[in-house]
Amino acid sequence: MEKESPKSFNRYGSKFPGPAFLFLLLYSISYILNPSTGYASSHPVFYFEGPEGMLGAGSEFSVKVLVDSKEALNAYAFSIDYPAEKLEVVSVNDAGTILDIRKDQPEAPFSSPLKFSGAGFKSFSGKAGLLFRINFRVIEVGSSLLTFSESKAYLADGKGTLIVPEVRILKVEAKEGILGSTPEVVNDKTPPSFEKLALVPDPINSGQKLLTFLVKDDVSGVRDVSLQSKRWLWWEEIKKISNPAAVSNSTWAVRVRVSDNTGNISEKIIYDWGVLARNLWPLILIMFFAIILVINRIFRRKRL
């Protein structure tokens, strides 16, 4: 009977693999099966941060829409679905977000899905980037799911590279018998500020100019912006606008009013004096020569 080569046996005198090898094998299996142990997603993640615990009927609560990303992003678009029969949107707040430009932002009356899109002057990478804040009210008890649909993000690479983010849902529970709560009242006494406001020529359509503006409210968020313009001597009707608004080339004054979500208002008037001069030039000229003629006649009479 041949003896087996000693090399066939491990140090414990057994043909089976040693404990060290078994440990390594088990660890590798658990590492692969457990995604939370050190595996990081390369895709950005859109998620919610909402209320903890049970809510009551009539409760108002705030939900933050956040983004985590390892890559630098600068533009975002997403829709949020919620059960309209159980939850009601009270307001949407853009204060303190990473977005400087908002193209789609829901306005009252709100309905599901809520559509958002916007971009930031500075790219964002990191954790918990605030995109929007939504205030809800519970109108019917039960479980409510907040989900993302049509989510997109774009890398800040100058090429408009689309990256589809991972999304997480939020479950909100409301039950009978629990007292309704309201979120912390926002004490905002500061009116919104104008970061930029200007009348610029439209480089594509020379028959109009564009009122371009950037307004911010870092506490309660901007609610709406409205405009009044003047082409002659009176203000025209007020209308709500978004950035930018087109005005006629003969407009010489524009009044812009911004209100935030707590009712504070800021107002600014900008003038295009060149347009006013061009509009009123004939009238000024007539008045000038009429005055000269009158003065001349007066002096003539005095000499006589």
Partner 1 sequence: MKYRLLFGLAVLLWLWPWFGANLALADVATSTSFNLHSVIGTGGSRSTSTTFNEKGVLGQPGEGISSSTSFVLKGGFLYFGPAVTTTVATSGGPGPSGGGGPTGGGGGGLFFPGEQPLPKKTGKLRCGSLALDKVDLSGDCKVNLIDLSILLYYYERSGPGVAQYDFNENLTVDFPDISVMMFYWSG
The region of 36-44, 82-90, 168-176, 284-292 touching partner 1 under the rule CB under 8 A is 284-292
Residue from 176, 206, 302, 303 binding partner 1 (CB under 8 A):
206
Q: What is the DSSP letter of 106?
A: -
Q: Is residue 248 a contact partner of residue 199, using CB atoms and an 8 Å limit? A: no
Pick out residues in 65-124 that bind partner 1 (CB under 8 A): 74-75, 77, 101, 103, 117, 119-121
Least Å from the CB of residue 300 to partner 1: 12
Query: Is 289 one of the binding residues for partner 1 (CB under 8 A)?
Result: yes
Query: Rounded to whole angstroms, how far apart are CA atoms 263 and 266?
Result: 10
Q: Is residue 185 a contact partner of residue 119, using CB atoms and an 8 Å limit? A: no
Query: Is 17 one of the binding residues for partner 1 (CB under 8 A)?
Result: no
| Residue number, 43 or 152, with CB nearest to partner 1 | 152
> Could you please report the per-residue DSSP string of 2-49?
PPPPGGGS-TTS-SSPPHHHHHHHHHHHHHHH-TTTT---SS-EEEEE
| Residue number, 103 or 186, with CB nearest to partner 1 | 103
Pick out residues in 232-251 that bind partner 1 (CB under 8 A): 243-244, 246
Number of residues that bind partner 1 (CB under 8 A): 40
| Residue number, 107 or 157, with CB nearest to partner 1 | 157
> What is the distance between the terminal CA atoms of the chain, rounded to a whole angstrom?
156
Within 10 Å of residue 252's Cβ, how many Cβ atoms?
23
Helix (H) or strand (E) holding 135: strand 114-138
Least Å from the CB of residue 199 to partner 1: 10
Query: Is 287 one of the binding residues for partner 1 (CB under 8 A)?
Result: no
Query: What's the one-letter identity of residue 244?
Result: P
Query: What's the one-letter identity of residue 164?
Result: V
Query: Which residues would be at the binding site for partner 1 (CB under 8 A)?
Result: 74-75, 77, 101, 103, 117, 119-121, 152, 154-162, 196, 198, 200-206, 210, 212, 214, 243-244, 246, 278, 281-282, 285, 289, 292
